Amino acid sequence: MDEAQVGLTYPILKCWMKRGEQKRIPMSTRQRRSQILAGALNWRTEQVHCRELERLDSDNIVTYLEWLLTEVYPHQKVVLVLDNAAFHHSATVQAALTCFEHRVLLLWLPPYSPDLNPIERFWKHLKATVCANHLYASLDQLIQSVRYFITAHNSFDPNFHLSFARNF
């Protein structure tokens, strides 16, 4: 489980350009706006279970965990891999997790080791595919693309990358 942030201002990453031409994406002069996402990756099925959060704080993390453990995995045993963010260690989150301690095993990552959390690779892929090299007119349009990307990822559509690229 981890959190990520996507926003309207995102850098240009590696991309193909015609020789002698420079790719340009106009910069929005509007206020920098972003959306925080909380997500969990099922290692066995590669499904990503993601929710949008209003803020990145203990209360919103508890709401996400309750959704994950009551609606997505209501009866299954779950192994949660968590990093050492302060809100993961908060008393509020720890108290909420005690309600599920009979079926949830917490694995804490060593400090400064995001490479050990597989959801980090998913966030990187999502941002490189959906956010980088694109200018969205609104945050809603960006969030719609993020939702489409996650839905397509979870459907295991082999033509996903082709269909996603055609939409731009």
Using one digit for the tens of pLDDT, what is the confidence trace for 90-116?
Answer: 999 999 999 999 999 999 999 888 889
Radius of gyration (Cα) for the chain, nearest Å? Answer: 18
In this structure, are residues 143 and 35 in contact, taking their beta carbons and an 8 Å threshold? yes
Alpha helix locations (H) across 77-131? 91-98, 118-126
Averaged confidence pLDDT in the chain: 86
Using one digit for the tens of pLDDT, what is the confidence trace for 48-95?
Answer: 999 999 999 999 999 999 999 999 999 999 999 999 999 999 999 999
Which fold does the domain 34-161 belong to in CATH?
Nucleotidyltransferase; domain 5 (3.30.420)
- In sequence order, the 6+-apart residues with CB closer than 8 A to the CB of 165 are none
- Banded model confidence at residue 19, pLDDT cuts 50, 70, 90: confident
Neighbours of 132 (CB within 10 A): 14
* Residue boundaries of the structural domains of the chain: 34-161
Q: What is the DSSP letter of 25?
A: -
Quote the pLDDT of residue 168: 47
